[in-house]
Amino acid sequence: MRVVVTDAEVTLADVLSLRLAMEESLSDGTELVLRHRTTGVEREVLLGTPGARAGEATLAVSLAPLMLTAGRWDAYLRRDGKRVRLRSVDPGFSLDHLDTYALCKRTLAYRSYRTRNGYLALKIADAEPIAEVRSIWFREGRFEVMGLLAFTGLEDDDARHEARLALQRRQSGDQMRRTSATVQGVRFHAAFSLVDVLAADPDGAGTWEPSLEVEGVATPLKLGSRLDDVDGKRRRLHYPSARIDGVPIRPCYTADDELRIEVGG
């Protein structure tokens, strides 16, 4: 059973849409099998006969009823007791699509992708509201950040929302004075003085956790970077530091791709 995925996408309605190229038509009883990479739990979907002519087929599988949990799920086709892992030539990545997908308020976010070895897989993650970071820079003694609000349910329009940027010191729980932030629709821009950060850090060596408080959103939003195909940003992204009175201050990411500000070190 030689089958290759030529196009894969999770739609805004959480439907896995696939286009397959194959040597023969799918027969009755063919199943799509999704297997959780860590636990080995499997979910099966009976495909029947998708129609189409020999050589290609299109499939649409609603993911929500399958009760999939967070993690990586590998895709297989099974027929007559035999199964093959689904090869894919579609990288399955579009930043514009991910931005649009994140406009809805969700509890789980589904994404199809091609593994390093060229197979189809799903990445499923908890979709808590977050301030998705797109740009970071230092200028004129300030730290500035901009991006978009993900999974909040706010409209991508011209409406302005009251917002403030907060910084909390991880070691002590102390908070720095909040600064105003700009939020228009789902786009945000925020900044704070590096001098104020250093003045608020009694030891000159601490880690600060930023969050964004936005009118119309029930809880403060963590700042992070998850709507892309770069995993492990703490290892891969290294920002230059700014020096204030000889003390280095730099942004970095945690293992969960959340933004932090490190003072000293």
Reading the chain (265 residues) residue by residue, the pLDDT tens digits are 678 999 999 999 999 999 998 877 777 788 999 999 999 999 999 986 555 555 788 889 999 999 999 999 999 999 888 889 999 999 877 888 889 999 999 999 999 999 999 999 999 999 999 999 999 988 888 899 999 999 999 999 999 999 999 999 887 877 887 899 999 999 999 999 999 888 888 777 889 999 999 999 999 999 999 888 777 787 777 888 888 888 899 999 998 899 999 998 6
For residue 232, what pLDDT is reported? 76
Q: Give the rounded distance of the alpha carbon of 28 from its chain centre.
A: 36
Residues 59 and 47 sit within 8 Å (Cβ to Cβ): yes
Backbone angles phi, psi at 176, to 5 degrees: -85, 155
pTM of the model: 0.83
Q: What is the per-residue pLDDT for 114?
A: 94
Q: Are 147 and 132 in contact (CB under 8 A)?
A: yes
Angle at 261 between CA 256 and CA 265, to 5 degrees: 105
Q: What is the pLDDT of residue 53?
A: 56
According to the model, what pLDDT value does residue 1 have? 62
pLDDT at 118: 95
The pLDDT, as a whole number, for residue 48 is 63
Q: How far apart are CA 122 and CA 69, in angstroms?
A: 11
Q: What is the pLDDT of residue 72?
A: 96
Which amino acid type is present at position 80?
D
State the pLDDT at residue 233. Answer: 80
Q: Would you state the pLDDT for residue 58?
A: 87
Specify the 3-state DSSP secondary structure of 86: coil
Cα distance between residue 166 and residue 177, in whole Å? 7
Rounded to whole angstroms, how far apart are CA atoms 177 and 192?
A: 10
Report which of 98, 159, 157, 171 is spatially closest to residue 130, judged by C-alpha positions. Answer: 98
